[in-house]
């Protein structure tokens, strides 16, 4: 009985000292260092990749932003920052594979959306990305997934063509997963480069 009356903790303590309310996240409790730390330790493909290091969401985010910039050479630094932060919510919720997200349904999506909006507000991006920009980032995300699938996740090219989006010849990427500390630093460096241009 006493256990039922206890209030359940709905926040996560970050290494920065921030306490992020997971139900109602505040932009004031979001720090880029916490995002970089979390994303560099979350493995894409549930860790089912070749090599001695997992391919982290931080590395994937850098790759998506790089592809986005190649595909959209006239994009603004703010657009590029939106591409870099497109999976930032995963520093809290992890990287769930698409089939599992679909199985969880709308409750998961609304939770993810609230967190994404708080992150975007924190870094001066529109709380809800415009549809055209979102589509361009998603295209880059699917190109990245194709490279990851064929180079480190064991997919054949026909399989990857079926589930992802085959990149054009103008985009040529070689993936080499790195240790978490390097992924974290690279993500922070790219964020700082884009943030400096914006300010």
For the stretch 18-31, pLDDT in tens is 999 888 889 999 99
- Is residue 152 a part of any domain in this protein? yes
Say what the pLDDT of residue 104 is. Answer: 64
Token output for 140: 């880059």
Domain that holds residue 142: 29-198
Residue 159 has pLDDT above 80, yes or no: yes
Say what the pLDDT of residue 108 is. Answer: 67
CA separation (Å) from 6 to 2, 3, 9, 10, 12? 7, 5, 9, 12, 17
- Is residue 154 a part of any domain in this protein? yes
The model's pTM is 0.89
The residue that leads in pLDDT, 7 or 79, is 79
Say what the pLDDT of residue 131 is. Answer: 80
- Is residue 8 a part of any domain in this protein? no
What is the CATH classification number for the domain harbouring 178?
Answer: 1.10.3210.10
**Dihedral (CA of 94, 99, 104, 110) sign:** positive
* Beta carbons within 8 Å of 59's beta carbon, 6+ residues apart: 40, 44, 175, 177, 178, 183, 186, 187
CA separation (Å) from 119 to 89, 107, 115, 165? 7, 19, 6, 27
The C-alpha torsion from 47 through 49 and 53 to 54, rounded to 10°, is: -30
Between CA 27 and CA 127 the distance in angstroms is 11
Q: Which of 88, 9, 83, 63 is closest to 177 using CA atoms?
A: 63
- Is residue 10 a part of any domain in this protein? no
- Is residue 100 a part of any domain in this protein? yes
Helix, strand, coil percentages for the chain (3-state, nearest 5): 60, 5, 35
Say what the pLDDT of residue 99 is. Answer: 66
* Total domains present in the chain: 1
Residue 126 has pLDDT above 50, yes or no: yes
């Amino acid at each position: 009985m006493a256990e039922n009356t206890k209030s359940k903790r709905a926040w996560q303590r970050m290494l920065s000292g921030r306490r992020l309310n997971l139900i109602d996240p505040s932009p004031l409790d979001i720090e880029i260092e916490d995002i970089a730390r979390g994303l560099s330790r979350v493995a894409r493909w549930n860790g089912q990749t070749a090599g001695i290091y997992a391919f982290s969401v931080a590395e994937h985010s850098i790759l998506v932003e790089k592809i986005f910039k190649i595909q959209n050479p006239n994009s603004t630094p703010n657009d590029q920052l939106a591409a870099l932060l497109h999976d930032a919510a995963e520093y809290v919720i992890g990287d769930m594979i698409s089939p599992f997200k679909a199985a969880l349904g709308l409750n998961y999506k609304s939770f993810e959306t609230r967190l994404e909006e708080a992150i975007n507000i924190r870094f001066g991006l529109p709380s809800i990305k415009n549809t055209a920009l979102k589509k361009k980032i998603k295209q880059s995300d699917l190109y990245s997934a194709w490279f990851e699938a064929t180079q480190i996740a064991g997919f054949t090219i026909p399989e990857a063509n079926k589930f992802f989006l085959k990149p054009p010849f103008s985009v040529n990427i070689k993936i080499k997963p790195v240790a978490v500390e390097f992924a974290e630093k690279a993500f922070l460096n790219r964020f700082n480069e884009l943030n400096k241009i914006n300010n």
